[in-house]
Amino acid sequence: MPDDRRTVLADTAIAVLAQTGMRGLTHRAVDRAADLPSGTTSAYYRTRKALLTALVRRLIALDQSELQEVGSRTSVPQGAEELVTGIAAFIEGRLTGEGRRRSLARYACAIESVHHPELREILVPRENAGRQVVHDFLAAQGVPDAEARTVTLLTCVDGLVFDRLVKGGRVSEAEIRGLVAAALR
């Protein structure tokens, strides 16, 4: 049961961070949000650093699981428009519902990692099936250095998500089409 409680606390911490920002992430706030007795979170995660580390580890585990699942059910796109449609669906998922909460938490943690290098190490992008689909598409199109172009394209997609979280609004397929076209040049 302790591992389940740790997961509940980490998931709750992600929600608290997304809702209140880094300053609002406290042991007490997590206790309240999880509807647990005061002191529960600090019993499992003694320090703020421990809580933040658990939150980041859980966030990355959730993201990796999602990206593996998306990539495993997606075949390599046959054309640029198919890739645009797939990226558009991915972005929409990152801007709504649970995806939005995790995106807000992820960006807050990325900024925090500037001051806490141990978090940066956890946040480093990892291989996953979703990323592999993009790489394989670019390689199949004969793009030189498909690996570097994959990183650039996905970094730009990440930037669009960040921009829309901050400014609001949606990402248009025309914007995505432009990114894909640039990756193919």
pLDDT per residue over 4-27, tens digit each? Answer: 999 999 999 999 999 999 999 999
Q: What is the pLDDT of residue 144?
A: 92
Domain extents for the chain? 2-184
Alpha-carbon torsion angle 174, 176, 178, 182, nearest 10:
-170
Q: Model pTM?
A: 0.90
User: Which H, E and C letters describe the chain, residue by residue?
Assistant: CHHHHHHHHHHHHHHHHHHHCHHHCCHHHHHHHHCCCCCHHHHHCCCHHHHHHHHHHHHHHHHHHHHHHHHHCCCCCCCHHHHHHHHHHHHHHHHCHHHHHHHHHHHHHHHHCCCCHHHHHHHCCCCCHHHHHHHHHHHHCCCCCHHHHHHHHHHHHHHHHHHHHHHCCCCCHHHHHHHHHHHHC
- Whole-number percent of the chain with pLDDT over 70: 98
Q: What is the pLDDT of residue 3?
A: 64
- Whole-number percent of the chain with pLDDT over 90: 82
| 151, 145 Cβ separation under 8 angstroms | no
Distance CA 105, CA 13 (A): 9
Give yes or no for residue 69 having a pLDDT over 70.
yes
Tell me the pLDDT of the chain averaged across its residues: 93
Q: What is the pLDDT of residue 1?
A: 42
Q: Which of 76, 63, 71, 56 is nearest to 146 (CA)?
A: 76
Kindly report the length of the chain: 185
Q: In 3-state terms, what secondary structure has residue 38?
A: coil
Mean pLDDT of all residues in 83-103:
95
Taking each helix axis as running N to C, give the angle between helix 80-95 and helix 97-112, from 0 to 180 degrees, rounded to the nearest 10.
80
Domain spanning 2-184, CATH architecture:
Orthogonal Bundle (1.10)
